[in-house]
């Protein structure tokens, strides 16, 4: 089965098939521009291990410390977790799940386990 067939058979939307494909990819394009100009081009990595470690630190910085003009000069973590806390306080679980799925794709460089752990910790829930 070809790649797109696997995606379709698992009900995964393919952003490149949509009419608004440039909108679907604008966030990722902005991310990669930032990664290249703020991290990759600035450092000369000696090996893959060093590159992975350095990029991991950059993504942590990107999500937790770097303020984004498009987010009213807030960090992605702050925007995400403030919304999550409001929804959890209102017990609006449907909205919380939808928001988590959307922002989960934007919290770059984190594993699903790390995203889930942060989400539960901020909401005062146990894993």
CA nearest neighbour of 117 among 108, 107, 125, 106: 125
Find out whether 19 and 26 touch, Cβ atoms under 8 Å.
Answer: no
The pLDDT of 11-38, averaged and rounded, is: 73
Question: What pTM value is reported for the model?
Answer: 0.57
User: CA-CA distance, 4 to 20, in Å (whole number)?
Assistant: 18
Q: What is the pLDDT of residue 21?
A: 60
CA 105 to chain centre: 4
Please check the confidence at residue 99 and state whether its pLDDT lies above 70.
Answer: no
Q: What is the pLDDT of residues 26-64, one digit of tens each?
A: 777 888 899 999 999 999 899 999 999 999 999 989 988
The pLDDT of 65-78, averaged and rounded, is: 89
Q: 79 or 100: whose pLDDT is higher?
A: 79
Q: How far is CA 43 from CA 60, 63, 85, 95, 110, in A?
A: 17, 20, 37, 40, 21
CA nearest neighbour of 99 among 80, 124, 71: 80
Q: What is the pLDDT of residue 8?
A: 76
């Amino acid at each position: 089965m070809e790649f797109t067939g696997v995606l379709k058979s698992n009900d995964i939307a393919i952003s490149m098939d949509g009419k608004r494909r440039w909108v679907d990819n604008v966030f990722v394009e902005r991310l990669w521009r930032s990664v290249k100009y703020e991290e990759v081009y600035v450092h000369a990595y000696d090996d893959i291990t060093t590159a992975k470690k350095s990029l991991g630190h950059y993504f942590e910085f990107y999500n937790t410390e770097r303020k984004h003009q498009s987010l009213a000069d807030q960090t992605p973590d702050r925007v995400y977790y403030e919304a999550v806390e409001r929804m959890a306080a209102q017990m609006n679980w449907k909205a919380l799940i939808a928001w988590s799925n959307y922002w989960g794709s934007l919290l770059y460089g984190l594993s699903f386990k790390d995203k889930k752990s942060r989400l539960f910790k901020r909401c005062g829930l146990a894993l």
